[in-house]
Amino acid sequence: MNTEIVERAVLMLAGRCDGAHALDGAGFNRYDAPAGHEMVRKIEAGQHPDPVYALKVVTKYRAQLGRLGIELPALEIVRVERDAARDAKAAATSRGVEITRQDGILLIRFPYNSAMFERARALPGRRWDPAAKAWTTPVAALEQVLEAFPGARLSDDLAAEREMSTSRPTSGCGSRPRSTRTRTPGPAGWSSAAGRSWRTTWGSARRARPSPQPWRSGTASWWLGPPACG
């Protein structure tokens, strides 16, 4: 992996470094020597330094490493590999986490682990319940809890509700479906029962209003004159 190439570059530079006592163009310079040797200590202890940070340090020595047969990978590739490894580790450590609900709150239980302990402390509204021996947080924070513990096991009711909420279809911008009612054309004319408005082919008022025919208030209608003679 590219992370291993970066660590090999750190070890190579540290092995050629004399503490920057002489300008021999070998190893770390005096500014990077402390950080370089600290990264070596972590590698030898199996802790592994941040590969992105390590790559940024050793990139300054690309020419020197090239002469030693080491070609450094691109920074973005190392960043992607690091994030993927972190996510996999988080999922693996979260498999022992159990999330249940009681009285409107979430109960989060897991065997003691310092990394998971810190993740639980970062949850919104979190509180330790000594009686239940669990961390508690509001039900509304469920998605944030699952982000912190991606491999957690949900109780059956929480799993069912989450599946329904994520699969529920929506229409338009909201959750209410659009009306399927269609407008049907009707005959043009005056409708006194509809609040004294004109009823036209598409229900538009005033467009079919005859002018200048007079209004007859007694019959609540427009007088259109005598019928035409044939």
**Separation in Å, CA 133 to CA 22, 126, 128, 153, 176:** 59, 13, 7, 17, 42
> pLDDT for 71-80, tens place per residue?
999 999 999 9
Mean pLDDT per block of 10 residues along the chain (230 residues) reads 90 72 66 91 89 93 91 93 79 76 91 84 92 92 89 86 72 49 48 47 47 55 55
DSSP one-letter string for 173-189: TBSSPPP---------E
Displacement of CA 150 from its chain's centroid (Å) = 13
Q: Which of 139, 153, 165 is nearest to 91 (CA)?
A: 153
> pLDDT for 180-222, tens place per residue?
444 444 454 544 444 444 444 444 444 445 455 555 555 555 5
216: its two tokens:
């007859």
Predicted structure pTM score: 0.45
Residues with Cβ within 8 Å of 164's Cβ and at least 6 positions away in sequence, in order, are: none
Domains, the chain: 2-89 (no CATH), 98-166 (3.40.1170)
